[in-house]
Amino acid sequence: MLDRRRVLQTLAGLFLSSFGLGGYAYAWEPAHQGVTRYRLKPARWPEGRRLRLAVITDLHVGGPHMPVARVRQIVEQTNALKPDLTLLVGDFVASRTRRSSDPAPAEWAAELARLQAPAGRFAVLGNHDWWQDERAQKELRGPTQSTVALEAVGIPVLENRAVRLQTGAGPLWIAGLGDQEAFVLRRRPRGLPYGLDDLPATLAMIRDDAPVILMAHEPDIFARVPSRVALTLSGHTHGGQVRLFGWSPIVPSRYGNRYAYGHVRENGRDLVVSAGLGTSKLPIRLGAPPEIVLIELG
């Protein structure tokens, strides 16, 4: 199996050998997010119901391209889209050991608290929210610092939990999956899984036939998501972070490019994987620009 860090380092070396391309991949593309729009009518979506979803993921605040000031800009750009519902799909912190100079979680959470959506704002955690929390890793349990910061400003973090909402499009379930790689880097007692995800328990909370939107940081779970779920939303992959002609040389997924980026439809089920906003491992992006996702359902 290819090592993601090694491949990205090799690619970075090739890119940086060319000043123009290297400068673009390091200085320009990672720092300029756009809006990617989708119009979807999932199989289980009620006829005539319309809903606007904004999706933000993989901020990696504290990384070289994500100061708190940029989080503020992303929030303003998202609010300007006037979503009905805003969903945050994990990896709020930088993808490295925390430094004393990094913004405190309360700082970036205070900016995210300014997100405006009449049907609400909800979050799930990503693997780095767990990996960079020393106490959570040592004790193999939460809450993480990211959870505490988000919930302190009124953004619920859904971990294997589903909540029923009343929206302008009618009733809707928002389900959030626990992270699938929370303890990958730690030695665990025998029998303890790598992640905290419990899809059956999460879906068991759904008590009626209202549509279900599932947030899952890593997209790999989609292979097991039943047709009961109208739409699955993920991040994590960064679109491969380097994407050439629609193909990523390395993707942090056991399925490779199958779930690397964008809208995926399989067996009548829908998945949208965002390329996210920050960078991981190496501070470059090429062909996978940062994005806020706006999905218009119905």
- pLDDT tens track, the chain, 298 positions: 456 666 666 666 655 555 566 677 877 788 889 999 999 999 889 998 999 999 999 999 998 899 999 999 999 999 999 999 999 999 999 988 788 888 999 999 999 999 999 999 999 999 999 999 999 999 999 999 999 999 999 999 999 999 999 999 999 999 999 999 999 877 777 777 889 999 999 999 999 999 999 999 999 999 999 999 999 999 999 999 999 888 999 899 999 999 999 999 999 999 999 999 999 988 999 999 999 999 999 9
The amino acid at 176: G
Structure confidence at residue 22 (pLDDT): 67
| DSSP H or E run through 242 | none
Architecture of domain 4-297: 4-Layer Sandwich (3.60)
Alpha helices in the chain (DSSP H): 4-16, 19-23, 68-79, 105-112, 127-131, 134-139, 145-152, 199-204
Measure the CA–CA gap between 170 and 132, rounded to whole angstroms. Answer: 38
Question: What is the greatest pairwise CA distance in the chain?
Answer: 57
Structure confidence at residue 87 (pLDDT): 98
The DSSP result for 43-70, as a single string, is TTSPTT--EEEEEE----BTSTT--HHH
The amino acid at 263: H
Structure confidence at residue 18 (pLDDT): 55
The amino acid at 222: F
Report residue 144 as tokens: 């993480």
Q: For residue 24, what is the DSSP state?
A: I
Nearest to 281 by CA among 237, 220, 245: 237
Distances (CA, A) of 181 to 126, 137, 195: 8, 12, 5
Structure confidence at residue 266 (pLDDT): 97
Structure confidence at residue 7 (pLDDT): 65
Structure confidence at residue 187 (pLDDT): 73
Report residue 103 as tokens: 């913004």
Query: Is residue 164 classed as helix, strand or coil in its secondary structure?
Result: strand
pTM: 0.91
Domain ranges across the chain: 4-297
Q: Is the peptide bond before 143 cis (omega within 30 degrees of 0)?
A: yes
The residue written with tokens 């200085």 in the block is 27
User: What is the torsion angle, in degrees rounded to the nearest 10, for the CA atoms of residue 31, residue 15, residue 57 and residue 216?
Assistant: 180
Structure confidence at residue 12 (pLDDT): 63
Structure confidence at residue 10 (pLDDT): 64
